[in-house]
Amino acid sequence: MKILVADDESTPALFLRRTLERLGHEVVVASNGLEAWERLQADAFRLVITDWMMPGLDGLDLCRRIRGRGDSSYIYIILLTAREGLQDRLAGLTAGADDFLSKPMDPAELAARVGIAGRIVAMQEELERKNVQLAELATTDGLTGLKNRRCFDEALTTACSFAVRCGYPLSLMMFDVDHFKTLNDSFGHPAGDSVLATLAEILRSETRDHDVVARYGGEEFTVLLPATVAEEASQLADRLRMTVRNHPWSQRAVTVSAGVATTGADLATGPALLEAADRALYHSKRSGRDRVTHHDSFQGEIASSHARDPMAL
C-alpha cells in the first residue's frame, strides 16, 4: 500500500518510514501539513498517517481538506497524537480521522492499525470497482457492449447543445437491420443476436473514437457524429452499409437501411434531429431497403415514426 506520512519531527518520521517499509509498504514522507497536501494533489495515496501538531497546516486541518476534496477514492487517515482526552478524540473524528495512534509509537500497535487500515481500504476499493461496474451496466447494452438508449439520449442532448452553441455541425445516423424478424423466425434468436453483435462491432470499428455508437433498441443502431457535415455523414453511412452487405454472414446475407440527419436552422434540438433521422430511415425502408437517405435529400411529407407500418420493417 502507498502511504503518506506527515510529520514535522524527523525522528518519528524516520521511525514510521522504516517500520512501514519493513512491513512491505511504499512510504512517502512530508515534513509538514502543507507539503503533505501538495503531495496528495500530485499522487494517489490510500492511507495518510499525520501528526496532529504541525506548523502551517496541522493534522486536523489536513484531515478537513482531505475530506473536503470529494474524491471517489476514500483515503484512510490515522492521526498521531499524545492527547488522550475524549474531547480531543472527538475533535479528531469530527475533522475526518478514521483512527488514532498514540505517541510515542509502539511498532506492534502501528502494524496492527495499519493492517486494519489495509483491510478497510481493500473493501473500499472493491466497492469502488463494483460501483464502476454498475455505472457501466447502467449505460451499456448487454448484448452488444455499445452505449444503450439512455446513454445515447443524454449524449444527444449534450452534443446538440454544444453544436448549436459553438456553430459546429452534428450529424446523426440511424441503422435498421432489414427483414430482421424473418431472420429470427428462420434461424432463431441466437442467430439474430449474433447478427446484432457483429453489426455493433462493424459500427464501432469503422467510426471515430469520439463518435457515440449506441444500440437504440431492437435491431436499430444510432451513431452521433460531432463536427460532421451532411455529405460526410451520408458517405460514411453508405460505406458502413456496404461493409455490412459484404460481410461473410453465416446464415444468409444481411443488409441495413440508414437514415441520416444533420443539425441546421430547423434541426437544433436532440428530439428534432432524432425525428429527422428516423423519417429518413423510414424513407429508406419504403424505397426498397439496403440504402441510405439523408433527411435533406428527399421532399414530401413522410409519416412519423409513431405511424410506422410494422410489417414494412
**pLDDT at residue 300 in the model:** 45
**pLDDT at residue 134 in the model:** 67
Q: Please state the pTM of the whole predicted model.
A: 0.60
How far apart are the C-alpha atoms of 144 and 152, rounded to whole Å? 14
Same domain for 166 and 109 = no
Q: Of the candidates 109, 139, 169, which is a domain's last residue?
A: 139
Give the domain extent around 49. 2-139
* Residue spans of the chain under pLDDT 70: 71-72, 132-137, 298-313
What is the helix (H) or strand (E) element at residue 274, kind and residue range?
A: helix 270-286
Structural domain includes residue 120? yes
- HSE toward the beta carbon, residue 154, CA cutoff 13 A: 7
How far apart are the C-alpha atoms of 300 and 11, rounded to whole Å? 85
Q: Of the candidates 115, 139, 163, which is a domain's last residue?
A: 139
Same domain for 49 and 181 = no
Same domain for 165 and 43 = no
Kindly report the backbone phi and psi dihedral angles of residue 251, in degrees, each rounded to the nearest multiple of 5, phi listed first: -85, -55
Same domain for 206 and 69 = no
Same domain for 180 and 130 = no
Check which CATH number belongs to the domain holding 221 and give it: 3.30.70.270
Structural domain includes residue 258? yes
Q: Of the candidates 120, 139, 158, which is a domain's last residue?
A: 139
Q: CB atoms < 10 A from the CB of 289, how many?
A: 16
Residues 6 or more apart in contact with residue 98 via CB below 8 angstroms: 76, 77, 78, 117, 120
How far apart are the C-alpha atoms of 105 and 5, rounded to whole Å? 14
Domain count, the chain: 2
Q: Active-site residue 219, yes or no?
A: yes
- Which residue matches cell numbers 432524432? 274
How far apart are the C-alpha atoms of 212 and 223, rounded to whole Å? 5
CA distances from 83 to 69, 72, 80, 86, 218 (A): 27, 31, 9, 9, 65
Structural domain includes residue 242? yes
Greatest Cα pair distance, the chain, in angstroms, is 86
Catalytic residue among 219, 231, 275, 301: 219
Structural domain includes residue 80? yes
Check which CATH number belongs to the domain holding 92 and give it: 3.40.50.2300
Grid coordinates given for 14 = 524516520
Structural domain includes residue 144? no
Among 155, 140, 209, 200, which residue's Cα sits nearest to residue 175?
Answer: 200
Same domain for 195 and 69 = no
Grid coordinates given for 109 = 500497535
Query: How confident is the model over 240-295, as pLDDT tens digits?
Result: 999 999 999 988 999 999 999 999 878 889 999 999 999 999 999 999 999 999 99
**pLDDT at residue 137 in the model:** 65
Grid coordinates given for 17 = 518510514
Angle at 269 between CA 268 and CA 273, to 5 degrees: 85
Same domain for 306 and 206 = yes
Same domain for 265 and 162 = yes
